[in-house]
Amino acid sequence: MSLRVLAVDDSLTMREMLRITLTEAGFNVILAEDGVDALTQLPGLDPDLILTDLNMPRMDGFGLIDAVRKGDIYARVPILILTTESAATLKERARNAGATGWITKPFDEVSLVSTIRRVAAM
């Protein structure tokens, strides 16, 4: 059974890079362009993990984390942040909001795939 990953990023280039990397690793990848798009797709999607950028229009990564964690169905789905940001205050805010982990862009493909497998298995 392949892991189902919802990847959320406003950059088309980044979404394509994630789609290619994660599909080649055997994951079932669903793409969303921001938090609003992700929440629209979430019902019935049953992701094993959500991978999200922080800085996006309409709804950023923090808004997405808050919305997912406040729900009943997907509140326990692991959420990894994938961002260019690296400030300790943002990492702490993400942890407090309910993020499971933090990966800095540009990502290393092998490391990203292994982190997703490890976190989704928790």
Residue-level pLDDT at 29: 97
Task: Give mean pLDDT, residues 68-76.
Answer: 88
Residue 11: which domain range?
4-120
Among residues 96, 79, 92, the alpha carbon closest in space to that of 39 is found at 79
- Based on the structure, what is the number of domains in the chain? 1
Global pTM reads 0.94
**In whole angstroms, what is the distance from residue 10 CA to residue 40 CA?**
15
Answer yes or no: is pLDDT of 108 > 80.
yes
In the β-sheet with 49-52, what is the strand arrangement from edge to edge? 28-32, 4-8, 49-52, 79-83, 101-104
Longest dimension (CA), the chain: 37
Q: What is the CATH number of the domain that holds 114?
A: 3.40.50.2300
